[in-house]
Structure formats: structure tokens, C-alpha cells
Structure 1
Amino acid sequence: MADPLSITASVVGIIVPALHGTRLLLEDLQQLSDAPKTIKRLTDDVQSVHTTLELLRGVEDGDWKSLGQNVAEQSKATISSCTQACILFRADLQKWTRHSEGKLTWLDRANVGFFKKDQAKAMSEQLQSCKLAINLIVGVATLYSSVRNCHVTEEIKKTISTQQDEVNRAITTADRQLVVVETKLEELNLSSDDDDAAGFGQGKDEVLRQLEEELKGAKASQKLLNELLSKSQEEAIAKAAGNQTGSITVNFGPQNSGFQAGNINGGFNGMTFGGK
């Protein structure tokens, strides 16, 4: 079994550059004071992802141990894809707004607000998917934390059921998004040069690169969500609670006179003192 400290360290090693990447993109977006609505919505999405990443960084070692190596690996894949998408979009944004400093020129505003609107929208969708996945990681981790040193109560069972519903809805959304992205990629790859001139123009490579990264992120999210669904089952959580609250039977034998001492870490039951 993997060391929980090493699991946490490996995930944090992905979260830190993700926080850096989202912060840089956020700063660039916030500098566009008169940006179109699509960019303003994108700014909100970047801020939301940054906030959820901070929450994820607070997940404790024991909870990562409960979530397991598979969840950790798929979490890293999902976050890494989101980070790469932010880096690529930031580079594109700097090209699109190269004529502007702070306030967008009419040319750059038209470029971002009209010609690049679909790319900004696609970026928002990927960020929203990433945020949803991260929130669910934190939610399931919180479930495991809540049963530490206690049993699965009726209230916790209701929370488990709610969490499962949320994960299932997220899986449905992820499946739908995956189909949409695959369709867009197929259409783009089949498009002719005339179509490129009419639609994507010189930005076809940008769109293709972004869609490929979005597809990578969608597949990672899909795997992650299925792992989270498995980990959010009542049986899995009850098993984790049982492992953390294992009982200890203490038997002092027939010699119940005199002084007998020892240390017991954790709960205990079934104490038998025997008797003469």
C-alpha cells in the first residue's frame, strides 16, 4: 500500500503549479477591464477553479489514503490537463490582445469577443468540469474524514446517498461533454482548407490544440469520477470506518489480583478480567 504522505506529496506537487497557472491567467484576464461577456465569465471560472484547488490542497494525508492511489492518479491527470489548458489559453490570449494594454483596442475586442468567442466558451466548459471534479474529490474526502473514529450513522448514510447522486450527475455530464468534444475534433480534422478560411482561418491550429487538451481533460475527469463513485459507496466508507475504529479485546486472564498496566491506543471492548 502506498504511503499516504507520498500520495499527498505527489498530489500537492501537481496542485502548486496549477495554482500558479490559474493565478497568471486570472491576472491577465483581470487586466482586460472592458472585456466582452465571454471573457468576464471565463474570469469567474478561473477564479472558481483557483479557489477549489486551495480546498483540495487542504485534504489530509489520511483522507488521501482512504481515497486510494487510483483516485490520486486520476486527480493529478485531471488537474494537469486543466493546468496545461490554462497555459495554452493564456499564450493565445496574449496573441489575441497584442495590440492592447489594459483597455482593449477595437480590433482586439472584436477578435476576442467575436472570432475567439467559441474558444473562450470551450475553455470555460473545461474549467467548470475541472472545478466540479475537484469539488467532488473534496466532498468524498470529507465523507471519509467524518467517519474517522466513529461509525456510519443514519445522517452520514444520507450524506453518502447525496454524494453518490452528485457524482452520478457529474458522470452523465462528463460523458456528454466527451461526445461533444470528440465530435468537434472529428469535424475539425475533416474540414477542408476552404472551410478553414471561412470558419477557423489561421486559428485552426489553436482550436485543434485546445480541443485535444479538452479531450484529454474530459477523459481524465471521466475516469476520476468513476473512481469517486466507487469510493463513495456506503460499503467502502463503512469499511474505512471499521479499519479506523477497530476494536481491541483485553483479557487479563485468571490472575485478577495485583497490579496490571498497559497502553491501549483506540477504542476497546470485550474486557474480560477472569476470576479466581
Structure 2
Amino acid sequence: MDPFSITAGVVGIVGPTLHCVRLLIKDLQNIADAPDAVKALTTDLQSVGLALASVQAVTDPQWKSLGDAVTTQSKAATTSCKTSCERFRTSLDRWTRHSTDGTLSWRDRVTLGVFRQGHIKSLSEQLQNCNITLTSVASIATLHSSLQQAQAAEVIKTMISTKEAAVNDAIAAANDQSAEIGAKLEALTLAEPDEGETDADQTGATRQVAMEKKALGESRKVFEGLLSAIQTAAANAQATQGPTVTFGSHNQGQQVGVNSGTISATFSGRG
């Protein structure tokens, strides 16, 4: 598949997703006396909006440097975010059907404040994960450009090390979250509806957690692709800097390689 057609696919979904996010923010802000959980969701959405805007700024050559896997999974992760926001807007309209002029009726306040907490929390966690994923994509997409501008080997080494550590942490966090979401989805599937909760509400909540799990899997694949892109950037940086011998994360030992030029070696003990 043409990598630039993949890039067009990513860019094509970012705009509609950003529009959907902004519509949901407006809907939530129109609820004047919204519960704290709903207000917090607004903050999550605003962060995702900024992440989407940063992804829009990624250039075609930068997408190409990330590779097909990252661009494909970035599109999937963005699409999942859009789907969840659209579904939540539909649910929100149903949950506030007894309210007028932005003021919640007592019945709708109870609905949002008690019965829908799980649904809102699941969407919040998905949005936070989406924010981390898209921000990482935009940040690492510019890594190659930054490396071209960096002159000192230590600057390059620090940049790559920092990005690699951040992505590894994100993968570890995704693994932990996956187990938690699996247990939550199983509990929702077996649970009886709460008093005042309709079958549609329970179905919506279950569907949202399932979407959160799906989106988390997509994000993990993005991070794995980004890790590969970072390793490629590291190899390119080493080639650009010339035959410099460096040491791994343990900062000890000796490395020997075949080299036809002058070798610059740095030795140090444990930090």
C-alpha cells in the first residue's frame, strides 16, 4: 500500500474527530450545573483536542518515517476516539432529556451523578490514553527533524533515550490497564441493571468499556511501532555522527566492533 495513501487516511479522520470532540465539549459546557465527573471529562476532551491538532501538523515525510504500522494504528486509535465521542453524545442527550436550558433536573442529576459514573470514567480513561498516544505520535514524528538539527552526540543520545523510556513506560501501563479493563468488562456483562438504569444504559456502558479495551489495544500497537521508529532514529543518528562507540543502559563493560576509521570511545563506571 502506498504510504502516502495511509497518511491521507490518518489526516482524513483527524479533522472529523476534532470536530466531534469540540461538539461534545460544547454539549458538556452547556450543562451549567454539571457534576464534577462531567466537568473533568471536559478537561480530558480539551487535552485530546490539542493532541489531535498536533497530529494534524505532522508532515507527510514525518509520517513516512514512522512507517505503515504506526500510521495505520494511529488512524484506528483516532477512529475509536471519534466513535466513543459520538456514542457518548447520543447517551448524554438521553440522560438529560428531562432538563431544559442547560439546568439539570433532579432526576437527570441523579442519573449523571450516580448511575453513569462507570460509563463516564471509562470514556475519561479512553480519552486520557488517546491523548498520550497521539501526543507520542506527534512528538516522535518530529524526532528525525530534531536529530538533523542536533550537533552534539550527547544531545542526540539524550533525546533518543528519553523518547524510548517514555514509550516503554506507555507500553507497560497499557499492559496493566488491559487486565483491569478485561475484569471490568466481565463484571459489567454479568451485572444486573441498577435501579433506574435501562437496558439501553447498561448496553451503552458495556459497549463503552469494550471500546476502551479495543482502543487500548490499538494504542499499544502504536507504541510498539513508535519504539521501532525510535530504534531506527538511533541507528541513523549513530551513522550520522560517525564511528563513535557508545554503551547501553547499564553504562558499563566493553564493546568491540569492526571499524575502518578513527574510533572515539568513552568509558565510565556505574552512575
TM-score by length of 2: 0.82
Aligned counterpart for 2:193 among listed residues 176, 193, 196: 196
Aligned counterpart for 2:233 among listed residues 197, 215, 237: 237
| Percent pairwise identity | 42
For 1:197 and 1:168, the matched residues in 2 are separated by 39
Partner of 2:180: 180
The 5-angstrom pairing of residues 47-62 of structure 1 reads 47-62=46-61
Partner of 2:153: 153
Partner of 2:40: 41
Letter in 1 for 2:120: A
Q: Do the aligned partners of 1:151 and 1:238 also contact (CA within 8 Å) in 2?
A: no
Write out per-residue CA displacement over residues 30-60 of structure 1, whole angstroms, 9 at most, x where no aligned residue: 1011111000000000011011100110011
Partner of 2:88: 89
Partner of 1:63: 62
For 2:152 and 2:53, the matched residues in 1 are separated by 28
For 1:2 and 1:241, the matched residues in 2 are separated by 26
Q: Do the aligned partners of 2:118 and 2:205 also contact (CA within 8 Å) in 1?
A: no
Partner of 1:218: 216
Quote the offset at 1:128 in angstroms. 0.1
Runs of 4+ in 1 over 3 A off after TM superposition: 148-152, 197-201, 238-245
Quote the offset at 1:243 in angstroms. 9.2
For 2:76 and 2:189, the matched residues in 1 are separated by 25
Alignment length (residue pairs):
240
Quote the offset at 1:28 in angstroms. 0.4
Q: Do the aligned partners of 2:14 and 2:78 also contact (CA within 8 Å) in 1?
A: yes
Partner of 1:106: 106
Quote the offset at 1:6 in angstroms. 2.9
Letter in 1 for 2:104: L
Letter in 1 for 2:162: T
For 1:179 and 1:168, the matched residues in 2 are separated by 18
For 2:194 and 2:24, the matched residues in 1 are separated by 29
Partner of 1:162: 162
Distance 1:198 1:106, change over 3 A: closer
Structure number with larger C-alpha Rg: 1
Letter in 2 for 1:98: R
Distance 1:62 1:150, change over 3 A: farther
Partner of 1:248: none
For 1:25 and 1:13, the matched residues in 2 are separated by 20
Quote the offset at 1:209 in angstroms. 1.2
Partner of 1:129: 129
Q: Do the aligned partners of 1:147 and 1:241 also contact (CA within 8 Å) in 2?
A: yes
For 2:240 and 2:80, the matched residues in 1 are separated by 34
Q: Do the aligned partners of 2:150 and 2:156 also contact (CA within 8 Å) in 1?
A: no
Q: Do the aligned partners of 2:156 and 2:237 also contact (CA within 8 Å) in 1?
A: no
Q: Do the aligned partners of 1:151 and 1:241 also contact (CA within 8 Å) in 2?
A: no
Quote the offset at 1:107 in angstroms. 1.3
Distance 1:199 1:109, change over 3 A: closer
Letter in 1 for 2:140: V
Q: Do the aligned partners of 1:149 and 1:244 also contact (CA within 8 Å) in 2?
A: no
TM-score by length of 1: 0.80
For the residue of structure 1 that corresponds to 2:193, the secondary structure is helix
Distance 1:31 1:155, change over 3 A: same
Partner of 1:27: 26
For 2:47 and 2:223, the matched residues in 1 are separated by 19
Alignment of 1:120 onto 2:139: no
Runs of at least 5 residues in structure 1 that lack an aligned partner in the other structure: 246-276
Q: Do the aligned partners of 1:53 and 1:134 also contact (CA within 8 Å) in 2?
A: yes
Write out per-residue CA displacement over residues 71-121 of structure 1, whole angstroms, 9 at most, x where no aligned residue: 000101111111101011111011001112311112111110111112111
Quote the offset at 1:168 in angstroms. 1.3
